[in-house]
Amino acid sequence: MNDGLLAGKVAVVTGGASGMGAATVRAFTEAGAVVTLVDRDEAGARRVAHETGVAALVGDVSDPEFCDGTVDAVVATHGCVDVLVNAAGVIHRAAASGTDDDDWRRVMSVNVDGVFYMSRAAVRSMAERGSGSIVNFGSIWGGVGASGVLAYCASKGAVHQLTRAMALDHADDGIRVNAVAPGEVDTPMLASGRDTPPTPAALVLLAEETIPVKRLAQPEEIARVVLFLASDEASYMTGAIVPVDGGFTAR
């Protein structure tokens, strides 16, 4: 159904080695995009790149030099960057008392700094051509609070505001900037950082008790919304934070 939706477009997807990022890489390649996957997980990046036939760059988006170099390399190879997806993210599960300086800085450096550095590098190239689309990964926890994930909530709130501000800054440049705000998704991050990883039965119970549609999302369901936002089908959308949460934030 999505064949050709991004035909000929040059895309960069961070966090593409697993979860929703990997699903986005697959959706984009199926839609005809030329994709470069970015992740610091070398083994995962190489695996997804091999499975999908895309290029992979291994590095850390919290490093501004790496981000600048990534965009420069893609432009040098393909002539432009049409689409940037900032899917890289980490989580720390604790309240303030359980979040030390290193924990805080790690979450902020990847979830906020990485989005800023990659977007700043991409808009330089996009503005020269007068077109481009950026899709950030926010979260339901960027719009509402949650206990036990202080740094993550703060980081995703910042991503939502970066999205809105950049959309306004670059509307005249022909660049659209939007974000998805996923709810609970069946990815490795959902179980990560917990003292006791949840069992499949516990995750089913979590969904039934907290999500109106009573199930977890699959990564592909989020990726399809990212694909829409990245494409010209969403040509009148910018500055939007789109919940993909099974009705969680509708209450």
pLDDT of amino acid 210: 93
CA dihedral 226, 229, 230, 232 (to 10 degrees): 150
Which residues does 206 contact at the CB level (< 8 Å), separation at least 6? Answer: 184, 198, 216
Instruction: Say if 208 falls within a structural domain.
Output: no
Instruction: Say if 199 falls within a structural domain.
Output: no
pLDDT of amino acid 189: 66
Task: State the first-to-last Cα distance of the chain, in angstroms, to the nearest integer.
Answer: 32
pLDDT of amino acid 199: 84
- What CATH number does residue 172 fall under? 3.40.50.720
Which residues does 68 contact at the CB level (< 8 Å), separation at least 6? Answer: 117, 121
For the four alpha carbons of 21, 22, 24 and 29, in that order, the dihedral sign comes to positive
User: What tens digit of pLDDT does each residue of 90-113 get?
Assistant: 999 999 999 999 999 999 999 999
What are the per-10-residue average pLDDT scores of the chain (251 residues)?
85 97 98 98 98 98 98 98 98 96 98 98 96 98 95 98 98 98 86 71 89 96 98 98 97 88
Instruction: Say if 179 falls within a structural domain.
Output: yes
Instruction: Say if 145 falls within a structural domain.
Output: yes
Domain of residue 152: give its range: 10-185+218-244
* Residue of 84, 27, 44 whose CA lies nearest to 220: 27
Instruction: Say if 195 falls within a structural domain.
Output: no
Instruction: Say if 4 falls within a structural domain.
Output: no
| 3-class DSSP string for 202-250 | HHHHHHHHHCCCCCCECHHHHHHHHHHHHCHHHCCCCCCEEEECCCHHH
Single-letter residue type at 217: A
Residues forming the active site: 152
Could you give the number of structural domains in the chain? 1
User: What tens digit of pLDDT does each residue of 161-194 get?
Assistant: 999 999 999 999 999 999 999 999 988 767 666 6
Instruction: Say if 198 falls within a structural domain.
Output: no
d(CA 54, CA 184) in angstroms, rounded, equals 28
pLDDT of amino acid 190: 73
Taking residue 147's Cβ as centre, other Cβ atoms within 10 Å add up to 8
Instruction: Say if 204 falls within a structural domain.
Output: no
